[in-house]
Amino acid sequence: MHDDGAPAVPHPPYDELRAALGDQHEAAPSVDALQAELEGPKPDAQAVTAHASRLRGIPVVEARIANWWDDPATQTWVKAITDAGL
């Protein structure tokens, strides 16, 4: 948690995702976009969901992104930013 009471931003294993996708995979930019969204000043829950959904559709990273996305801490964070209207 942050001092302001907001839950900490959960981060997926970016390096593992990139390594699994490789440089040639067309979805590699989705990892960068997800990271940029999560590290931005006001992450958008819909954008995060869209990036995660795209990555979940790729067999070589599905388990990694699903483990992160389905984690209660991630879901709590998504709910918090959705409820806050961020």
- Read off the pLDDT of residues 19-42 as tens digits, 9 standing for 90 and up: 998 877 788 889 999 999 999 999
Number of domains in the chain: 1
Establish if 56 belongs to a structural domain: yes
Is residue 74 one of the residues assigned to a domain?
yes
> For residue 27, what pLDDT is reported?
82
Provide the residue range defining the domain that includes 36: 23-84
Q: Is there a domain that residue 12 lies in?
A: no
Residue 51 lies inside a defined structural domain of this protein: yes
> The tokens 């819909």 sit on which residue?
46
Instruction: Choose among 16, 74, 29: nearest CA to 49.
Output: 74
* Whole-number Å distance between alpha carbons of 69 and 36: 16
On whether residue 32 sits in a domain, the answer given is yes
Asked whether residue 57 is assigned to any structural domain, the reply reads yes
16 part of a folded domain:
no
**6 in any annotated domain:** no
Q: Give the residue from 77, 62, 55, 59 showing the smallest Cα distance to 11.
A: 77
Whole-model pTM: value is 0.85
pLDDT at 3 over 60: no
Per-residue pLDDT of 44-73, as tens digits, reads 999 999 999 999 999 999 999 999 999 999
